[in-house]
Every structure is written in C-alpha cells, then in structure tokens.
Amino acid sequence: MSFTLHPNLEKDCIELGKLKLCRVLLMNDRQFPWLILVPERENITEIYQLSPDDQQQLIRESSYIAEQLGTLFQADKMNIAALGNMVPQLHIHHVVRYQTDSAWPAPIWGKFDALAYTAEELEVTLDPLQELIKSSVTKEW
C-alpha cells in the first residue's frame, strides 16, 4: 500500500522534502513559521499506532525540526502538537512562536485565517527550510 497525503494537507501546505520517516510540509501561512511532519505510513491516526521503531524515529525527527526551526527563526518558544481533529491522518505541527506574535500567549489554532505566502516571501522562506531538510541527509538517525 502506498502512502497518500490527506487532501487538506495537500491543499494547505507546500511540500519541502522528506526525512527518513516523515514528509515535511510548510503550512502556507506567513503569520507563523510552521512546519508539519507527516509519517509516511498508511492508516495511522495516533502516535501509538506506529511501530516502536517508527515512534522513536518520529521523536528524533520532531526534535531535529524543532531545534532547527527554533534556531533559524530565533523562536521564543516552539509549539509542537498532534491534534488531528480536522485532519485524522497523523501529522505533527511545529510552530515558531514569539512573545510579540498576534496570538501570544494563546494557541494559534482557530485564531486567524491563514495568510498565504506571496511568491517573494516564499522565495526567501523556502531556501533555508529546504537546506535544513537536505542537511538532515547526513544525520545518523
């Protein structure tokens, strides 16, 4: 069985690349630097449904993404969550937060409509994020 990305994630995100387990997506919302990891496993809605090895790999990849995003964007806080209320396919949000952002200190979900990146903003944003994914190739997972 091949992996299929949920249609809402396809619609709302820009694919950046792949790690060992997860597909890496950029949420198309310029208000917050925001990546989503989606384990490439079919019919998984919860972390506990992954094999023990995949669970450990997910934690490694999530930690890597959180650390890299936090450093790249000089985050005050990284919000990491697996909600799944709207999209049942297991996916982990990694959102850069600042004490000065429009939703602080509340969660961002449901606060504002997404504001899509402009072509110019995407050009600037994609390069360092894709480099972050490429540099993971040398990691010993």
Q: Where are the domains of the chain?
A: 7-133
Cα distance between residue 82 and residue 140, in whole Å: 25
Instruction: Return the DSSP state at 116.
Output: P
Encoding tokens for residue 21? 């387990």
> The domain at 7-133 falls in which architecture?
2-Layer Sandwich (3.30)
pLDDT in tens, 67-83: 999 999 999 999 999 99
Given this model, what pLDDT does residue 133 score? 93
- Alpha-carbon Rg for the chain in angstroms: 15
For residue 87, CA distances in Å to 11, 14, 83, 97, 121 come to 12, 16, 8, 22, 26
pTM of the predicted protein model: 0.95
pLDDT at 141 over 80: no
The mean pLDDT of 27-35, rounded to a whole number, is 97
How many helices (H) and strands (E) the chain has is answered by 3, 5
